[in-house]
């Protein structure tokens, strides 16, 4: 699964999609390079790192995984939600402390308000991930290896 740097047209398309989907209030990743893997996962890397990338050639993993292109839109990783959450103006849901514990255990949540699509999940001032909201149900995308069973 080789990484490919996105050209300016592809990069603009991703930035536009992020802005439309999450209502970003400022342009993200100005000083970063976006890479896409063959499985549609997106990674960001500092522009200073490009010289190393050019010398190495084929690379399977590099930088910070921020999102994956899905049929329903861009699904943010935990780190992607932490980077983009503070600048998002829509598709962001706030959960309670009790729900946060359930979220970190990998459980789906029942929400009071209906919604549809990928949403950034927030608890107090912390952006903790991304889920898919279908009506009142918030589907959890926390990977099994990042779930915490004994929290608090």
Identify whether the C-beta of residue 120 lies closer than 8 Å to the C-beta of residue 113.
no
Residue 21's contacts (CB-CB under 8 Å, 6 or more residues apart) are 73, 74, 91, 117, 118
How does the average pLDDT of the chain come out, rounded? 91
Beta carbons of 58 and 2 less than 8 angstroms apart: yes
Q: Residue 87 has what DSSP assignment?
A: G
- The model carries a pTM of 0.89
For 95-112, what is each residue's pLDDT tens digit? 999 999 999 999 999 999
- CATH class of the 3-146 domain in this structure: alpha beta
pLDDT of 56-79, one tens digit each? 666 667 889 999 999 999 999 999
Q: How far apart are CA 134 and CA 114, in angstroms?
A: 7
DSSP β-ladder status, 73-76 and 92-94: unpaired
Mean per-residue pLDDT for 13-17?
96
Q: Residue 54's pLDDT band (boundaries 50, 70, 90)?
A: low
Q: Return the pLDDT at 62.
A: 80
pLDDT given for residue 58 in this prediction: 65
State residue 59's pLDDT score. Answer: 66
Residue spans of the domains in the chain: they are 3-146
pLDDT at residue 127 is higher than 90: yes
């Amino acid at each position: 699964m080789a990484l490919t740097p996105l050209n300016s047209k592809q990069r603009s398309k991703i930035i536009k999609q992020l802005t439309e989907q999450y209502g970003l209030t400022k342009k993200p990743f100005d000083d970063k390079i976006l890479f896409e893997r063959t499985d549609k996962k997106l990674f960001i890397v500092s522009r200073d790192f490009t010289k190393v990338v050019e010398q190495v050639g084929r690379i399977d993993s590099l930088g910070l995984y921020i999102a994956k292109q899905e049929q329903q839109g861009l699904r943010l990783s935990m780190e992607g939600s932490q980077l983009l959450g503070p600048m998002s103006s829509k598709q962001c849901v706030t959960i309670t402390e009790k729900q946060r514990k359930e979220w970190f255990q990998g459980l789906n949540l029942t929400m009071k308000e209906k919604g549809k699509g990928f949403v950034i999940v927030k608890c107090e001032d912390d952006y903790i991930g991304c889920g898919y909201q279908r009506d009142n149900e918030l589907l959890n995308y926390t990977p099994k290896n990042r779930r915490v069973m004994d929290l608090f």
